[in-house]
Amino acid sequence: MRTQVEATIEVIRPALQADGGDIVLHAVHEDTGIVEVELVGACVGCPASTQTLKAGIERIMRDRVDGVTEVVNIAEEAIA
């Protein structure tokens, strides 16, 4: 599962980098389907980053990788 997640991130990454951001994979929990990432660069503090994460990254990840249930930004969880 982790290999598929990594490959999917490589597909997503150019779009994020085009806007000055990036994504770092921290963990893949195969038992729960939760993928932990960190949005960095211009994504930090961007008002659209939650929308990018849920409507973009999570949707693509769930479509491409069987078993993914949720993608969470660990940087946002640390703030909350």
5-16 pLDDT, tens digit each: 999 999 999 999
Q: 2-79, what's its fold? A: GMP Synthetase; Chain A, domain 3 (3.30.300)
Cα separation of 20 and 38, whole Å?
Answer: 14
Residue/partner pairs of 6-15 with CB below 8 Å, 24 or more apart: 8/60, 8/61, 8/64, 8/65, 9/37, 11/60, 11/64, 12/56, 12/57, 12/60, 15/56
Q: In 3D, which of 22, 35, 23, 24 has the Cα closest to residue 64?
A: 35
Cα separation of 23 and 53, whole Å?
Answer: 10
Domain boundaries, given as residue ranges, for the chain: 2-79
Average pLDDT over the chain, rounded to an integer:
93
Rounded to an integer, the average pLDDT of 13-40 is: 97
Rounded to an integer, the average pLDDT of 62-70 is: 97
- pLDDT number for residue 78: 56
- pLDDT number for residue 77: 62
pLDDT at 56 over 80: yes
For 11, the enclosing helix (H) or strand (E) is: helix 2-18
